[in-house]
Structure 1
Amino acid sequence: MESYYILRLGNDLRTKLIKIRTLLFEKSGQSCFCCLEPCIILGPCDPSSSVPFVSCPQLPILIDGTLHFEEGQLFLPLEREVLAPLRNELATDYPISGIYLGSEQVSVPIQSFTINSVSLAMLTVERTEDLTLWNVLSERHLDSGKES
């Protein structure tokens, strides 16, 4: 079983990204677009620990809608520097910096959008030959400190 710190996105944005992943699935037929929720993977963590209090990344974060495929992962990239302070606080790292979508190289048009709200969470993933089980163990909303 693998465990990761993730930035979980707000419900509206998750819904939008699930629709994009549905388009990717329809175009490719690959089930990887139906596994996991769209999130920003920060890096591995110890599943027995609790979600720590950490600083919120600088919000809002602009995502330009350009898909990238690296390290066997399809994602919507964001500047690595945006996540660097948070990854340092958590003492973790991950090879990609962006919103994870799947593990196949496919392309669909995506409009740019903004991330305005995130939560730090712990995600566990268990994979077998043809099944991926995932669970968000705990979650803590990160306050950007910005007045609305």
Structure 2
Amino acid sequence: MKIYSLHTKQKLPITLEEAWKFLSDPKNLKTITPDYMGFKTLSGDDRAMFPGQIIQYIVTPVLGIPMKWVTEITHVQDKVYFVDEQRFGPYALWHHKHFLQEIPGGVEMEDLVHYKLPLGILGQWVHPFLVKPKLKEIFDYRQKKLTELFGTYN
């Protein structure tokens, strides 16, 4: 069983409160997801984030094939971190930790994702040229979009 990880950090010139308000609101996921992904929230984005919250999406990650993705917010510590875990969707495992930390002149966001692909050896085979680059592209887009929305940290 191969478990992969993705780790990103980004500094933004905003307050911890502004960062938390934006990043912990499920409605903002569409804003920081590339348009070609066809991201649409179906349910669960109607209230502030809480442990046990179930959020359902439609996403089109590969070949224009829409998929339902269901995540649960499993942990929340206000203005510190939250965790989302896939319950149903394209991965055999998806565990995504979002951390926020106040720094001089802004906030540092850190994401740590652990994921496992379905289909055994076939999933492992496509990882380096399909899944890994696609995830990098999505997180790169997210960083670019957050910089457009909030500015560059100096």
State TM-score, norm by structure 2: 0.26
Higher relative contact order (CA 8 A, sep 6+): 1
Question: Computing the radius of gyration over CA atoms, which structure comes out larger, 1 or 2?
Answer: 2
State TM-score, norm by structure 1: 0.27
> Comparing both structures, which one devotes a greater share of its residues to helix?
2
